[in-house]
Amino acid sequence: MDIISIEWGLALLLLFVGPVIYIIRAQSQKEKKAIKAITKSSSEEVNITQSELTGNRMIAIDSTNKKLFFVSLPVKKETLTTIDLKKIVDVEVVSKTENKTTAHVALQLKFTDAAKQELAFFDDEVGTDANISLHQAKQWKNVITDLL
């Protein structure tokens, strides 16, 4: 009787833990492929020190060369945005609400030539949860401002 209970316990454990392990591995492989593609498509040597997947986009930073990478997945050279952190003056988190719900979350980068660029973390096409995207945007704002 005890062996059957142990077998059932192990079977149920595998049933619930297996999918979680699979999702974590798939996410990790997706991130590694994206980093490899960024490294290949960049014209200079890149050393990604920090990266994060945000829905179907990825943000990564090379703190040694002070470069920021923002790309849609799957990575294509046309969708890769490379930003020189030396040209950024200020970083803000921008969020817009419509009908008491968050409709847009982005990082707004202000450059030395007074130009602005937004990197969308959540909108109609990007992201799954506005609150998570807002938290991610705030974290990346802190990472970028530390390197300015």
pLDDT in tens, 36-76: 777 777 667 777 888 887 777 788 888 788 888 887 777 66
Q: Report how far apart the first and last C-alpha atoms of the chain are (Å, whole number).
A: 65
pLDDT of 95 reads: 80
8 Å CB contact between 93 and 138: yes
Does position 125 have pLDDT exceeding 80, yes or no?
A: no
pLDDT of 86 reads: 83
Does position 14 have pLDDT exceeding 80, yes or no?
A: yes
pLDDT of 127 reads: 61
Alpha carbon separation from 81 to 17, 27, 73, 91, 130 (Å, rounded)? 37, 22, 12, 16, 23
- Give the pLDDT mean for 131-137: 80
Structure tokens belonging to residue 144: 């970028």
pLDDT of 122 reads: 76
pLDDT of 1 reads: 58
pLDDT of 75 reads: 67
C-beta pairs of 138-142 under 8 Å, 24+ apart in sequence: 138/93, 140/52, 140/59, 140/107, 141/91, 141/92, 141/93, 141/107
pLDDT digit string, tens, across residues 66-96: 888 887 777 666 677 788 888 888 888 888 8
8 Å CB contact between 70 and 85: no
Structure tokens belonging to residue 91: 């970083």
pLDDT of 143 reads: 83
